[in-house]
């Protein structure tokens, strides 16, 4: 899923590339969440989209 891949890419760009150790500290929990629970995250995103999209979401522009 694009959202999860974007988060993963963002954490990899932060990790080890900041002067402050808080950059790594912020990236690692997100990486762990994605690494261990990606399937659950995808399931919840798809479930949310099924419930919300027909009523509230704007159509995607290309």
Residue 31 resides in a domain: yes
Q: Which residue has the tokens 């919840």?
A: 44
Residue 57 resides in a domain: no
In which domain, by residue range, is 46 found? 2-52
Task: Say what the pLDDT of residue 8 is.
Answer: 96
The CATH number linked to 16 is 1.20.1440.230
Please tell me the distance from the alpha carbon of residue 11 to that of residue 29, in angstroms, as a whole number: 9
Residue 59 resides in a domain: no
Task: Say what the pLDDT of residue 33 is.
Answer: 97
pLDDT in tens, the chain (62 residues): 889 999 999 999 998 888 888 988 999 999 999 999 999 999 999 998 888 766 555 666 55
């Amino acid at each position: 899923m694009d959202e999860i891949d974007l988060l993963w890419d963002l954490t990899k760009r932060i990790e080890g590339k900041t002067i402050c150790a808080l950059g790594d500290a912020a990236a690692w929990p997100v990486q762990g969440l994605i690494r261990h629970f990606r399937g659950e995250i995808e399931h919840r995103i798809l479930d949310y989209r099924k419930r919300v999209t027909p009523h509230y979401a704007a159509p995607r522009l290309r």
